[in-house]
Structure 1
């Protein structure tokens, strides 16, 4: 297995006083000389290549992650795409200050999604970001030596061991745990356990050996033609990357926090910041509110600013400042007015993931033909495991009693209640139901199965490897989509004919 170790920068590559990233070729040479024999003995099945060719705008050519810009995500992604055909996995050495931002952005740069959030060019190999709280090497009068008291070697070797698991997604390895990249956040500047994931268990862990965690990894491409191994898929990803790189820093997304202030003023501070962001050319504004995404209403000044932003064509998303926060449907009186401004909720995405996803998708919108409404829906859909998906069942998934699907626009719902399955419009009106308890199982076609195993209903429409997606609001539609882009709508019978078997 051939693994490319991309040297991007960060504390793990630093030396000297004050600490600063050393030139990439010097770091790569030290790694080969001082670590090569040990790594070869530990991982005899791995062929390691230290890639020192990535360059950033700095004196050393490496990235001090404090100075990370969105365009730097594109540089890392391009390096991966350029070497994709020649390697089986990638380990990116990155600074910890913004490692979670890069780990959240890369899934949207290395995958291409259609308007429904289905992958059309899909990552098929591991991409693991890692780094260290202390440098990997120490400068002495005799040259560089291994910093035995640091965490760099353990993180590098752990990342390599996890790469051998071939989990096909972007992840982040630190202190023995492999986190989904779009779910991780930095939580400490002093502990070796610098990262955590509030809503998602580790994908894998390393200790005495390496083992898969409790969280299910992404499945990877549903068809070989969709994998980045295929030159056509890789060309599609490269074309999207070109478009993102050309625009991501010209029309940025701006994150603004809600903080205690006198919001009853006619022109409160947060409203002034929203107007300023719009005036400076922001493409989107991410507001980090309290609790479930609540924002102070005050005298209506913030609401007015959000409406002005919406009128100016700026997309607004509301997240939560709470580490384990989840934005609902703005139920509290303190935030119920938000829905009327055109803003959308970030669900259970971390603010880091929401910012990275928002930035990349906004920059890719014109290239991919997404209008503002389409962008809003994609921001609420689970594309690469960054949030809990509510609008679909994938192959092998089960909708159990007490669970529900909700369309991405937040309107229609398919509720699996204690008495059965009910499809409702956005205003709560039932349009179809199955009045016996059971579970909805998605395989080649959806089937509703009773507790005793009897099949109460099964669609006649079948698409191997299909995904069941709930769309719409006043007219909810259940649709099957397959990897080739084929669509099979499920025309369920009206509720007055609930005894009839729904047809395809």
Structure 2
């Protein structure tokens, strides 16, 4: 019996899975069954690799909750047969997908590592090979016969991050992602530097639970100076809307005008869940620190603390899919479920 780690590569689409037709210059998806032909270096990895691909690979701009469920089901179906999973995904919505999967996969005890690239795998200057090879290598790390990484992560440009802590911050640089409020879990240099004290603790012997019900009756509202009453009220009154991620200023600040506060109060009283996150690329919401956020706190707005917008919206979908009692929703949202917020 082989002692090598078995890794399943899941291709959903995206630039990483493209190769260039040198005759036409056009990009096309290559056959992932022929992965070793495209990246012979993979043969040097001390693990067994198998691949599965979406029947119709998608651009990540078309990612949605149904596709997240599809990824979760592939992992669920193959969970016992493999030691780790690497999900190849377009970079544009990768942080949303990594966040969503972190909530959907409860009691995860194996690595699920998202990666992708800024340039196609067949491009001369591609970042795809390094991202893919190192993601596989990290996914195959074992200690005493058990995986070292036991959470949903995102690997890009020499760093492994907790997936639900990430945001895409650059469309052109190879360093496309950051985790503004949480350090990297692993840094790839000449050696892999593991910051194991930052890893997510797992429940021992807990069975994987795959949650497939996500409720997308949600919206993101970004505050800006001059937002009008009619615009905000029309959004808050959308039929069947259940949750809002409100991107506010600084540490959670918003206008103190009566019309604004009255609309927020009315929305919350009608059953809408409103989560306050900061527009800043880093830092935390701290409602009550300034007068401009004290009223929001008293109205029952949920504090997103240092959660990213990507994790906030997917956590909202996840919790709304669970029909949680209104009086419990705020407390549960403000609790870290998968390491997505700091306590």
TM-score, with structure 2 as normaliser: 0.91
Contact 1:204 1:212 in 2 (8 A): yes
Return closer, same or farther for 1:71/1:18 CA change in 2, 3 Å cut-off. Answer: farther
Paired with 1:341 and 1:108, the residues of 2 have a C-alpha distance of 27
Deviation of 1:375 after TM superposition, in Å, equals: 2.0
Which residues in structure 2 correspond to 1:464-475 (within 5 Å)?
A: none
Cα deviations by residue, 1:227-246 (Å, 9 ceiling, x for unpaired)? 32xxxxxxxx24x32xx05x
Could you tell me which residue of structure 1 aligns to residue 135 of structure 2? 159
Paired with 1:73 and 1:124, the residues of 2 have a C-alpha distance of 19
Paired with 1:72 and 1:199, the residues of 2 have a C-alpha distance of 27
Deviation of 1:336 after TM superposition, in Å, equals: 1.6
The CA RMSD over aligned residues, in Å, is 1.9
Could you tell me which residue of structure 2 aligns to residue 274 of structure 1? 236
Contact 1:10 1:64 in 2 (8 A): yes
Contact 1:319 1:346 in 2 (8 A): yes
Contact 1:268 1:301 in 2 (8 A): no
Deviation of 1:215 after TM superposition, in Å, equals: 5.3
Contact 2:160 2:186 in 1 (8 A): yes
Cα deviations by residue, 1:320-365 (Å, 9 ceiling, x for unpaired)? 10011311123312222112322111001111111111111211x2
Deviation of 1:206 after TM superposition, in Å, equals: 1.4
Contact 1:12 1:131 in 2 (8 A): yes
Which residues in structure 2 correspond to 1:43-442 (within 5 Å)?
A: 43=45, 45-52=46-53, 54-55=54-55, 61-111=56-106, 122-137=107-122, 147-165=123-141, 166-213=148-195, 216-221=198-203, 223-224=204-205, 226-228=206-208, 237-238=209-210, 240-241=211-212, 244=213, 248-249=215-216, 252-261=217-226, 267-275=229-237, 279-298=238-257, 300-363=258-321, 365-366=322-323, 370-389=324-343
Paired with 2:26 and 2:62, the residues of 1 have a C-alpha distance of 15
Gaps of 5+ in 1: 56-60, 112-121, 138-146, 229-236, 390-504
Contact 1:202 1:214 in 2 (8 A): no
Contact 1:183 1:350 in 2 (8 A): yes
Cα deviations by residue, 1:69-91 (Å, 9 ceiling, x for unpaired)? 12221111111111101100000
Paired with 2:313 and 2:184, the residues of 1 have a C-alpha distance of 22
Could you tell me which residue of structure 2 aligns to residue 33 of structure 1? 37
Gaps of 5+ in 2: 142-147
Deviation of 1:373 after TM superposition, in Å, equals: 2.1
Deviation of 1:314 after TM superposition, in Å, equals: 1.4
Aligned residues: 330
Paired with 2:164 and 2:222, the residues of 1 have a C-alpha distance of 20
SS of residue paired to 2:292: coil
Deviation of 1:27 after TM superposition, in Å, equals: 2.7
Deviation of 1:21 after TM superposition, in Å, equals: 5.8
| Match for residue 9 of structure 2 among 5, 21, 45 | 5
Could you tell me which residue of structure 2 aligns to residue 141 of structure 1? none
SS of residue paired to 1:335: helix
Deviation of 1:130 after TM superposition, in Å, equals: 0.1
Cα deviations by residue, 1:439-467 (Å, 9 ceiling, x for unpaired)? xxxxxxxxxxxxxxxxxxxxxxxxxxxxx
Deviation of 1:254 after TM superposition, in Å, equals: 0.7
Deviation of 1:196 after TM superposition, in Å, equals: 0.8
Contact 2:36 2:43 in 1 (8 A): no
Return closer, same or farther for 1:287/1:66 CA change in 2, 3 Å cut-off. Answer: same
Deviation of 1:15 after TM superposition, in Å, equals: 4.3
Contact 2:68 2:100 in 1 (8 A): yes
Greater radius of gyration (CA)? 1
Contact 1:10 1:21 in 2 (8 A): no
Paired with 1:373 and 1:64, the residues of 2 have a C-alpha distance of 39
Deviation of 1:268 after TM superposition, in Å, equals: 4.8
Paired with 2:19 and 2:124, the residues of 1 have a C-alpha distance of 14
Paired with 1:212 and 1:47, the residues of 2 have a C-alpha distance of 22
